[in-house]
A and B are shown apart, each in its own frame.
With several copies, the nearest count.
Chain A
Amino acid sequence: MDKKIYLDNAATTATRPEVVEAMLPYFTEKFGNPSSIYEFASQNKKAVTDAREIIAKSLGANAAEIYFTGGGSESDNWALKATAEAYKEKGNHIITSKIEHHAILHTCEYLEKNGFEVTYVGVDENGVLKLDELKAAIRPTTILISVMFANNEIGTIQPIKEIGEIAKQNNILFHTDAVQAYMQLDINVDDLNIDMLSASGHKINGPKGIGFLYIRKGVKIRSLIHGGAQERSRRAGTENVPAIVGYGKAVEIAMDTFKERTEKEIELRNYLIERVLAEVPYTRLNGHRTKRLPNNSNFSFQFIEGESLLIMLDMKNICGSSGSACTSGSLDPSHVLLAIGLPHEIAHGSLRLTLNEDITKEELDYVVTNVKEIVDKLRSMSPLYEDYVKGIN
């Protein structure tokens, strides 16, 4: 196939042409600093306000509860560090899950070095948070529960409503990293008792370098980036107007297409999953079969290693990933796959294919054919497969 088949939409997405269109005037013409006093800049202030309102509406929130950031990682860092700082009088304990993104996990490690205690709640074999473990982890000093809405590697959707209720009953703040879930799943912050929520523009066909943190009114907040009075004095730095406008546009489109898009993705995803499981032996699906992101599939192919699989797929013009994009270069297998109980060698042989609604079944057929061939080839040179066939362990 000559055309590239991009199946790594969980890593990043193409910015939509309409989004770029919307951004363009804010680079060269309406370039003013929204904080400025003159009329020329007030159009930029308005553009920022409009985008903020679109996003607020998409979550059932108020515009004053949306704070723009430089991306999902910043939002995650901010939520955790600010809560830790603002509520340290109340307690020093934070609960999160074992399968969070590194933006959460490494921030937790940082907090642990700074006097906080963190409990990492486990997940079951499908990657679903163990609610009993969560409840048991709660202490009088617990100030925050942070559990991702849906996992970036295996796509499992967490029982957010239940977690929100547990948090509320125990008077604990609840943050969710919704970087993967936002605009793939229906989210209402009030229904779900969410106090803080992180999202990132480039995961939903918006621009890179922009994200937001939703902070419920009443939550005490501290700045992560101090300085000017932007974002109601909570996040300093000249507003990234083009990116904010583009993000607003991307959300607007994602809202409009929501139902049709996600239904189509689910159908394509199921098609892909069923064919791969049926046709490639010694293969498992990682993540929950149904409680999963519409666009996510994640397989482990026994006896082979993921990187070689990826490179060979790449030579066939298929872009996929193994573990999370940001951690490639690392030699350890994904902490998520280990957390759902996979042994190391199986975790190493994993492949994440995350699609979008523009993929065709024909393209997926081509993908399946190539996955099959490549897995065969790699197994034929694998000492683990040799041992397996010979019955050695």
Chain B
Amino acid sequence: MYSEKVMDHFTNPRNVGEIENASGVGTVGNAKCGDIMRIFLDIDDNGIINDVKFKTFGCGAAVATSSMATELVKGKKVEEALKITNKAVMDALDGLPPVKVHCSLLAEEAIHAALWDYAEKNNLKIEGLKKPKSDINEEEEEIKEEY
């Protein structure tokens, strides 16, 4: 069902944990849908993401996408981190099963939420960053039914 990369990031997730007094924290998803991701960012004065941690309640793909997303943003500038899409996360994981695509969207959104929090706390305006939705809808699900 899952690629080896996904299984690797699921069973040995990178950057699990919390950051005390994080520069930004974002939590997205909800327990109803079975996925909650929380991302902690430590951002230095030059806008570089020095450290990142996550906690995730969710399926294997949710954990793996969180793990991969944290790997991808780590050491990046805020502006670069913002450009990391769910597609990039999926590609880095060698793909996800169709029903799990929403996990990668959630991971992208969690990064955005943490950046938003960072921006609010520091009264910054980050170019291109919109207030994140706390949740994403599984639009891809519908397609199956139409067929």
Contact = CB atoms under 8 A, between A and B. Distances in A.
Q: Do A and B bind each other?
A: yes
A249 B33 CA distance: 41
A217 B16 CA distance: 44
B40 to A, nearest CB: 10
A307 B138 CA distance: 18
A308 B59 contact: yes
Interface stretch (B50-58, B82-90, B111-119, B124-132): B50-58
Nearest to B35: A305
Interface string A328-369: 010111000000000111001000000000000000000000
B60 A383 contact: no
Contact of B31 (A308, A344, A386): A344
B144 A331 contact: no
Contacts of B145: 233
B47 to A, nearest CB: 26
Give the size category of B's interface with A: 20 to 34
A383 B34 contact: no
Contact of B58 (A305, A329, A343, A344): A305
B99, B138, B147 — most chain A CB neighbours (10 Å): B147
A308 B63 contact: yes
Given A37-B1, A305-B57, A305-B62, A384 B31 contact: yes
B144 A233 contact: yes
A28 to B, nearest CB: 24
A272 to B, nearest CB: 24
A307 B60 contact: yes
B60 A311 contact: yes
Interface string A194-234: 00000000000000000000000100000000000000110
In the A-B complex, the 9 residue pairs with the closest CB atoms: A345-B31, A307-B59, A383-B38, A383-B55, A344-B32, A348-B34, A382-B57, A381-B16, A311-B60
